[in-house]
């Protein structure tokens, strides 16, 4: 389970809008100078993310909560968003070579394959938009005791 801490902004019908603050461990990483993630983290001005999460705990506005999403769900979404368009691109580039097509045809087919992969990913995204398995879920509420030590309450 991939977890992130956030604050509840609003609640409605079994869901809660949660705002998380994206943190990056790039400053302590030894490979940060040659890493693309570090460069993107430096350029990105927004470190806040707002999400709609399933609320099985009946949280209240302003509470600090831990939101989670299963690793396999994230992996499936990553395959559809990254691997399928990439396979379309590579497949489109390889197909013309099977019948001896030129490089200009390979470029055109690779663009068509990439666009087709993006369209497949978009269709899958629309199909799964209401699938609750892809929504983050509030796992627990974090209570602050005397404003000092965070206590974790699980249900």
Calculate the CA 145 to chain-centre distance.
32
Which residue, 64, 57, 84, 56, is CA-closest to 18?
64
The partner residues of 71 in beta bridges, in order of sequence, read: none
In tens, the pLDDT along 5-38 reads 899 999 998 899 999 876 656 656 666 566 666 5
In tens, the pLDDT along 34-69 reads 666 655 566 655 577 889 999 999 898 989 999 998
Calculate the CA 96 to chain-centre distance.
34
pTM greater than 0.95 (yes/no): no
């Amino acid at each position: 389970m991939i977890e992130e801490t956030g604050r509840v902004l609003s609640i409605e019908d079994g869901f809660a809008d949660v705002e998380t603050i994206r943190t990056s461990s790039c400053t302590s990483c030894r490979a940060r100078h040659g890493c693309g993630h570090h460069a993107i983290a430096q350029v990105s001005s927004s470190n806040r993310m707002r999400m709609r999460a399933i609320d099985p705990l009946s949280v209240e506005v302003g509470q600090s909560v831990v939101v989670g999403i299963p690793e396999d769900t994230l992996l499936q979404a990553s395959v559809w968003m990254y691997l399928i368009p990439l396979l379309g691109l590579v497949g489109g580039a390889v197909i013309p070579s099977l019948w001896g097509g030129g490089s200009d045809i390979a470029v055109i087919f690779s663009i068509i394959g990439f666009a087709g992969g993006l369209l497949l990913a978009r269709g899958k995204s629309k199909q799964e938009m209401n699938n609750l398995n892809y929504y983050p879920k509030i796992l627990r509420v974090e209570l602050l005791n005397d404003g000092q030590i965070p206590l974790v309450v699980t249900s």
